[in-house]
Structure 1
Amino acid sequence: MNRLVHPIEQESYAILRGQLAARYPDAAGRPPLARAVLERVVHASADLEYAEDLVLPDESVLEQAVAALRADAPVVADVAMVAAGITRRQTLCRITDPRAAELAKETGLTRSAAALRLAAEEAGPGAVYVVGCAPTALFELIERAETYDPLLVLGLPVGFVGAAESKQALRESGLPAVSNVSGKGGSAVAAAALNALLYWEVVA
């Protein structure tokens, strides 16, 4: 079922597309799904600089992710704020699970990394991962990528410690991924990137 788009949202997209075209003329030439992800990230952040900062995979990777999501591929989120921003799907997020705190204490992982480990074990291979807050969760995913076998990683954690580094490591890992170069990002941005794929039939 198509999502109803409010007139304010339609107007907002018209404005951002005009501003993107004026400042970053090449943005309009991106393939359709890549452009949809970029536009929704810009819409969530009001930050046109993502036109240069966002790093997107080949269009075929995004097409495969859309197909997998429509076939109910599991979605794993690192924190509750990311999960809350994903408005069309239930997600696996174990940040509030007492087992995450116990695992963190036992292993020395951060709670976010421990929570991602629990969710990944539940999700199995072929899940879509959305990391918008915790670089340590993204490092956990990268280090255990062979075990977790993600279909797509939307790695957009925010911050000054480890955020840019974790995203660089994600790109160097060769995993199919959406990321960005700077320390910018965050829960709203990461959720928006996934929502662009979930809403694709609305904007296509």
Structure 2
Amino acid sequence: MVYKDDDTILDGDIPSYRYVLPDNIFDSPDKHPENQCFCEMDGGTCPMQGLFNTTLCAMGVPTFGSHPHFYRADPRLANAITGLNPNQSLHESFLDLHPTMGFPMKGTSRLQANIQILKTFGFSQLDKYEDQLVLPLAWFEINLEDKTLPQDMKELIATATHTVALVENLLKYGTIIIAFITLVPIVANVRHRVERYKRSDSKKSLQRKEVETEFDC
């Protein structure tokens, strides 16, 4: 997952970092060459933009994974099915992490299962579908809701968050204040010593001049 932006949880009381799946996670190799390894090894056939080939996991059945409603996929996939409306807020997967302790506090994982229609002689039931049409079967959503956390857990998170922030500020500004308080007497002592040295040196110079004057007389 990649960082997206800063967010908040628990009614805006706790800051969080939001992470989402990369935009290119289901990209074709034409756009993202690193995804070439997800193409079929024998024929080198690659799925359409926005699809992940799961055929090997389904014992040869032509199945594909995708974002729900073919979000971030080739527009032809959604346009071929009536009722699909890709929407970022409804179909994007994300995870909110605590900014300092790093544990997950809120998130949603969404995945759509699809099957490709391959017309075969003798199956008239498939005549109403276009050949190689990618047909959505269902999509799944798993949620981690911050509002469903136990009250004691919410209080623990809030206390830890504000305590850490307080300690950081104390260390940050306390160190500066302590350094300033420590340096002031040191600087004052150095200045005092310098002034004493100057007065002593001036007094010695004056005494030498008096001695020289006596010798001249």
Is the pair's TM-score, using the shorter chain for normalization, greater than 0.5?
A: no
TM-score calculated relative to the size of structure 1: 0.20
Q: Which has the higher contact order (CA 8 A, sep 6+)?
A: 1
| Max Rg structure | 2
